[in-house]
């Protein structure tokens, strides 16, 4: 569903508005693509796989716009050449040429990233992996899947379903994001609580290094202690160390039974004890515990995400929690979930007002759609400043409220353009999505938000990026979560892999 929506969004982007960023654009000295370069690229790739405003291709610049514009319509590059290679060899040859000619390269997956990492800063070439979308192998016994990096996450899930397996990750952008993009951003999402991070489930990678060398580490082994685990460096490197072309990943057996329930809570203070109780009672079958504050819920409903709960169920609710269970025995799992609900409702001081339990696969999807649809609802409501932070669970509400009050004190709340300050996210992982929804992106709001939000995160010893990454948006804030020694080591690793600095320049490192 999302992929169709994205296609429409992209097609309708006609007059992108350039936003002034509070931090200046990164400075790098790289060459622009010229006609000789395009001539050379057209010997590596069929002309149909190249979009370029330069001869001999001469595409209309509007056709390049979707590749130059990020999902939030916040960051705009000026690339004149986009390539869609079909094989690892093609990627390698393009990158080798760019390395020799000192041309910047931006690896791009589904372009659903939320930190401006997948679009050029200036006129770097874009290498979009969308045409590398073949499944290379799947072993139904071990559950190990090997796929091209450009496979869309949802297509992989659809491929696995008849074979009784599921991907170990799931996110609202599944209809558009690529598995390569997921690995490059170390995407978290809705299943991390159960299946852990991609640092655990990715078993091997094939990567084209910034000089064009193909690093083949596409292992299908669960265990391999032969020195440094190089693939880990590429997981979460956001395209700054190389282009991921193939992914080997451990998928999970599909659960025989899945249930979900949305719980309406009278107070945020109840979230923590509720999480503790749900973990205690549901133990091994609890697979998601997601938090939605009241404003986020109201926005999701307003913009048609999922089906609204009954008036009576939401009355008096300050926030909501979506709990999912996945297990192997329907009767056992349902008994556990019903037991939890009964004990919550019958307690002397109930932690919840009500619980809405899905009764069919359609209702299961509708409840999930409320949570998954928040990002999209926010983008329909206005322009979002997105802070994806890790902080202690108990401080979620305080961070949202403090930010709202701060914006009020700066005179930018409501009358001054900020419409809503909302919080939602993966409570079970300590990950809050703090979104500030405004009429428009303005310097005044950005100045009010930064460094305020990052200093708030630092106060809680949190992370300025729980899962979306650093991209272009947060390079100036990296030091809030990484000390000088770590940043220095990151720089040395970057220059070891990419001495000419061509790979996704200006991203991640300040």
Chain residues that interact with ligand FAD, rule: CB under 6 A: 71, 106-114, 117-118, 129, 149, 171-173, 177-178, 180-182, 184-185, 187-189, 238-239, 243-244, 375-376, 467-468, 471, 504, 507
What CA dihedral angle connects 218, 223, 227 and 232, to 10 degrees? 50
Instruction: Identify whether the C-beta of residue 94 lies closer than 8 Å to the C-beta of residue 44.
Output: yes
CA-CA distance, 93 to 100, in Å (whole number)? 11
218: closest CA among 195, 244, 192, 255? 244
Residue 62: CB minimum distance to ligand FAD, A: 20
Which CB atom, from 353 or from 504, has the smaller least distance to ligand FAD? 504
Q: Taking CB positions, which residue lies at the least distance from ligand FAD? A: 181
Nearest to ligand FAD of 114, 314 (CB atom)? 114
Q: How far is CA 58 from the centre of its chain?
A: 33
**Which residues 6+ apart lie within 8 Å of 29 measured at CB?**
none
Helix (H) / strand (E) element for 206: namely: strand 202-208
Shortest distance (Å) from residue 351 CB to ligand FAD:
25
Closer CB to ligand FAD, 179 or 407, in the complex? 179
To ligand FAD, the closest distance from the beta carbon of 250 in angstroms equals: 18
Complex with ligand FAD: residue 144 or 209, whichever CB lies closer: 209
Name the residue nearer to ligand FAD (CB basis): 130 or 355.
130
Nearest distance, CB of residue 348 and ligand FAD, angstroms: 36
What is the closest distance, in whole angstroms, from the C-beta atom of residue 332 to ligand FAD in the complex?
29
Work out how close the CB of 300 gets to ligand FAD at its nearest, in angstroms, rounded to a whole number: 12
| Residue 170: CB minimum distance to ligand FAD, A | 8
State the nearest-atom distance from the C-beta of 77 to ligand FAD, in Å.
11
Report yes or no: 142 and 201 within 8 Å, Cβ to Cβ. Answer: no
The minimum distance between CB 227 and ligand FAD, in angstroms, equals 23
CA 209-203-139 angle, 5° bins: 120
Q: Which two tokens stand for residue 375?
A: 């990002």
Q: Which strands sit side by side in the sheet containing 105-108, from one edge to the other?
A: 50-52, 81-83, 125-128, 105-108
* Cα(126)–Cα(108) distance, integer angstroms: 7
Which CB sits closer to ligand FAD, 5 or 459?
5
DSSP 237-292: -TTSS-EEEEEEEE-EEPPSEEEEEEEEES-GGGHHHHHHHHHHHHGGGEEEEEEE
| Cβ-based nearer residue to ligand FAD, 377 or 448 | 377
291: Cβ contacts below 8 Å, ≥ 6 apart: 271, 319, 320, 321, 396, 423, 424, 425, 426, 427, 432
Q: What is the DSSP letter of 345?
A: H
What is the DSSP annotation of 130-159?
Answer: GG---EEEEETTTTEEEEETT-BHHHHHHH
Nearest to ligand FAD of 306, 471 (CB atom)? 471
Residue with tokens 């892999």: 497
Of 172 and 428, nearer to ligand FAD (C-beta) is 172
Q: Are the C-beta atoms of 423 and 404 separated by less than 8 Å?
A: no
Radius of gyration of the chain, Cα coordinates, nearest whole angstrom: 23
- Report the nearest approach of ligand FAD to the CB of residue 141 (Å): 28
Nearer to ligand FAD, 106 or 314 (CB): 106
CA nearest 431: which of 289, 236, 294? 289
Which C-beta is closer to ligand FAD: that of 177 or that of 370? 177
Q: Cβ of residue 232: shortest distance to ligand FAD, in angstroms?
A: 14
Neighbours of 506 (CB within 10 A): 24
Cβ distance to ligand FAD smaller for residue 68 or 185 = 185
Largest Cα separation within the chain, whole Å, is 77
The least distance separating ligand FAD from the CB of residue 472, rounded to whole angstroms, comes to 9
Report CA torsion sign: 395, 400, 406, 408.
negative
Q: In whole angstroms, how close is the CB of 108 to ligand FAD at the nearest point? A: 5
Please name which of 447, 434, 510 lies closest in space to residue 479, comparing C-alpha atoms: 510
For ligand FAD, the closer of residues 184 and 323 by Cβ is 184
């Amino acid at each position: 569903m999302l992929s169709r929506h994205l296609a429409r969004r992209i097609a309708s982007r006609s007059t992108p508005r350039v936003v002034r960023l509070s931090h200046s654009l990164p400075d790098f000295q790289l060459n622009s693509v010229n006609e000789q370069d395009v001539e050379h690229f057209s010997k590596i790739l069929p002309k149909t796989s190249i979009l370029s405003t330069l001869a001999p291709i001469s595409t209309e610049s509007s056709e390049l716009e979707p590749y130059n514009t990020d999902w939030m319509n916040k960051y705009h590059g000026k690339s004149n050449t986009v390539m869609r290679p079909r094989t690892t060899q093609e990627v390698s040859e393009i990158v080798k040429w760019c390395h020799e000619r000192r041309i910047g390269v931006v690896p791009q997956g589904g372009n659903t990233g939320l930190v401006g990492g997948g679009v050029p800063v200036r006129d770097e070439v874009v290498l979009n992996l969308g045409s590398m979308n073949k499944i290379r192998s799947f072993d139904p016994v071990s559950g190990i899947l090997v796929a091209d990096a450009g496979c869309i996450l949802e297509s992989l899930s659809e491929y696995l379903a008849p074979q009784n397996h599921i991907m170990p990750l799931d996110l609202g952008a599944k209809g558009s994001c690529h598995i390569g993009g997921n690995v490059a951003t170390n995407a978290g999402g809705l299943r991390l609580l159960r299946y852990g991070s991609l640092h655990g489930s990715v078993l091997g990678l094939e990567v084209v290094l910034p000089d064009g060398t193909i690093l083949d580490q596409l292992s299908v082994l669960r265990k391999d202690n032969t020195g440094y685990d190089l693939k880990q460096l590429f997981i979460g490197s956001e395209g700054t160390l190389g282009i991921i072309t193939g992914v080997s990943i451990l998928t999970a057996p599909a659960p025989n039974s899945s249930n979900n329930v949305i719980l309406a809570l009278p107070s945020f203070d109840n979230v923590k004890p509720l999480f503790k109780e749900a973990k205690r009672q549901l133990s091994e079958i609890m697979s998601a515990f997601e938090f939605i504050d009241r404003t986020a819920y109201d926005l999701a409903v307003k913009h048609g995400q999922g089906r609204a709960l009954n008036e009576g169920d939401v009355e008096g609710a300050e926030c909501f929690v979506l709990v999912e269970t996945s297990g192997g025995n329907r009767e056992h799992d349902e008994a556990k979930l019903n037991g939890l609900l009964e004990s919550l409702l019958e307690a002397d001081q109930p932690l919840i007002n009500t619980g809405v339990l899905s009764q069919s696969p359609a209702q299961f999807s509708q409840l999930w759609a409320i949570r998954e649809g928040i990002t999209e609802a926010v983008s329909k409501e206005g322009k979002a400043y997105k802070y994806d932070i890790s902080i202690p669970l108990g401080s979620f509400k305080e961070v949202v409220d403090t930010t709202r009050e701060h914006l009020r004190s700066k005179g930018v709340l409501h009358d001054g353009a900020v419409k809503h300050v909302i919080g939602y996210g993966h409570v079970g992982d300590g990950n809050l999505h703090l979104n500030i929804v405004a009429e428009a992106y303005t310097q005044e709001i950005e100045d009010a938000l930064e460094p305020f939000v990052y200093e708030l995160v630092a106060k809680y010893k949190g992370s300025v990026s729980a899962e979306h990454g650093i991209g272009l948006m947060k390079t100036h804030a990296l030091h809030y979560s990484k000390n000088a020694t770590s940043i220095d080591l990151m720089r040395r690793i970057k220059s070891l892999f990419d001495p000419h600095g061509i790979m996704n320049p200006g991203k991640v490192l300040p």
